[in-house]
Amino acid sequence: MNNLREQFIAFSVSAGVLRFGEFVTKAGRNSPYFFNAGLFNDGATLGRLADFYAQTLLDSGVEFDMLFGPAYKGITLASATTVALAGKGRNVPFAFNRKEAKDHGEGGTMVGARLQGRVVIVDDVISAGTSVRESVDMIRAAGATPCAVLIALDRMERSGRDGRLSDHSAVQEVSRTYGMPVISIGNLDDLLNYLSGAGADAELAQYKNAVAAYRKRYGIA
């Protein structure tokens, strides 16, 4: 596969990070698939994931000066992505936050480079947008400018719960609220294309209809 997005979906499936079956999401929905970036948990898979993040960011054309990783998953993702960016000739600093302030040593909640310039927030997915909101507040408080959010997978589904579904996804709401792009390596449509194509074996292809039905029920237009 030559398409970076399709390659990412195939990689996530092969690594066991993107799984199919019956799962309950944070919104209480019964989902036929589940994506857990925490399972990119060895050097080889994390290195390849970081390469996907880095190439996607470079391909986006977004101008940026540094990366920020919100605790906890964002810490590993942002630091690994800066390594991958350096390998592609783009050496940038990164920072991350602690959940609890440190009262000794350097103190505070921030670790790494000083937040300055145009900052890309790196995380795995956007569910309720809480992590992004907190990150934006910290970046702006430091006098820097949040310029984009970089995530692995956009689920492309309407936020809210049954009976009170929004017309927009959490990703769209974050973009509208903060006036900055949300860049994803892959999304739900890419997943459906993968399940429909030759890349999916018979065992995986059986989930195509369930994922398509989920997309129809909860997906954004």
Q: Which of these is catalytic: 26, 102, 208, 216?
A: 102
Q: Which of these is catalytic: 104, 168, 208, 216?
A: 104
Cα–Cα distance measured from residue 3 to residue 95, given in angstroms and rounded to the nearest whole number: 30
Please state, as a whole number, how many other Cβ atoms lie within 10 Å of the Cβ of residue 141: 10
Task: Please answer whether residues 150 and 121 qualify as being in contact, where contact means their C-beta atoms are separated by less than 8 angstroms.
Answer: yes
Active site residue 104: yes
Cα–Cα distance measured from residue 195 to residue 80, given in angstroms and rounded to the nearest whole number: 29
Please state, as a whole number, how many other Cβ atoms lie within 10 Å of the Cβ of residue 192: 18
Cα–Cα distance measured from residue 80 to residue 49, given in angstroms and rounded to the nearest whole number: 9
Active site residue 102: yes
How open is the CA angle 187-190-192, to the nearest 5 degrees? 110
Cα–Cα distance measured from residue 126 to residue 132, given in angstroms and rounded to the nearest whole number: 8
Q: Which of 90, 87, 108, 86 is nearest to 99 (CA)?
A: 108
Q: Catalytic amino acids?
A: 102, 104
